[in-house]
Structure 1
């Protein structure tokens, strides 16, 4: 599902990624761990098409990311990639249902189609009683589950999660950890999770360790 060959990333004179080789299979739940500054988030942003490598090859589901530009890249990201961030990034003026619908509307689904998909996902995530609530009215765990629904609505090939449990209490962390594996069983997506939470990391099918811009264990 994901292939990387000699991915390097420089910011001026600073080399953040130093030749990453990586392969992640379809349906895997993989964690990426390492100290702050190891290059985890930079790698996640490149794989998620939010940034480009200085050199090297990265592909998702057989598509070379380096060949995509402009609208092609935006379309690929919307169709193939889902994101879950530490601080959920929900729009405060929209309800849970409206937040979850957004990627489907951007993709071009009708409002009726987008709403039906969002309702189904939010029900799966046990949020069918919170559809009309705005983010300020939701708990931390509920906000994160809305963010997960938003990430899944276009049935992406890969879901990238950047410190998804970092802003949650211990109970919500455990719920989110279980949720990723329930989602894999239900929807067969590939999950790549950057985390400092070694409990979550060790639950994954595979734990990838990074240090100083290099992968030490795949």
Structure 2
């Protein structure tokens, strides 16, 4: 199991958002989390992605007990073992596509030349080689999201966590992005955990986790 969480609880003030969630994800699975707005999906994803800490509970990711890591070690773990894709690409506007993809690798300590080679390879894999020197303002929405995927992949993380990754795209670009996720999962063996309102995307995943009112109601 690559993710094992037990009795995860999280409150914001008096509002209890997660009320004791248990979840187990296997290596190489592509799993969707669905539910109405406010059900706790994004909060759960942020905790599983170590972007936030649970108030209580146990979380092991890729054999590491996350609760034992201080902030510095947690940031290092996150950079090397996890990749993130958000609804909006969050590319830095002043950098080219290639430079945006390189950033996590440079943070991880890779040399600039090695990072550039790896970024170029990923852009080629995602049919973006010709866009390497373009800045985000010169790219389509679908291209920007694929660049965000390349950025998430550059450190070869064990897990990709995606929060409404196709929510800002039109139907054509949605289908292209979804097909890309399934291909990457199959070819690279990475685990994908996707929060989505898109029932078509969810239906194609290995498992659907449904949340309601801070609880996992079905698997």
Tell me if TM exceeds 0.5.
yes
Q: Distance in 1 between matches of 2:114 and 2:185?
A: 23
Q: Distance in 2 between matches of 1:85 and 1:12?
A: 26
The 3-state SS of whatever aligns with 2:67 is helix
The 3-state SS of whatever aligns with 1:145 is helix
Alignment match, 1:168: 169
How far apart are residue 64 of structure 1 and its match?
1.1
Matches within 5 A, 1:1-218: 1-218=2-219
Stretches of 4+ moved more than 3 A in 1?
none
For structure 1, the 5+ residue unaligned runs are: none
Q: Distance in 1 between matches of 2:37 and 2:125?
A: 34
Deviation per residue, 1:40-63 (Å, 9 max, x gap): 000000000000001001111011
How far apart are residue 185 of structure 1 and its match?
1.6
Q: Distance in 2 between matches of 1:138 and 1:203?
A: 28
How far apart are residue 70 of structure 1 and its match?
1.8
Q: Distance in 2 between matches of 1:15 and 1:59?
A: 22
CA RMSD of superposed structures (Å): 0.5
For structure 2, the 5+ residue unaligned runs are: none
The 3-state SS of whatever aligns with 1:148 is helix
How far apart are residue 12 of structure 1 and its match?
1.5
Q: How many residues in Structure 1 have an aligned counterpart in Structure 2?
A: 218
How far apart are residue 13 of structure 1 and its match?
1.2
The 3-state SS of whatever aligns with 1:21 is strand
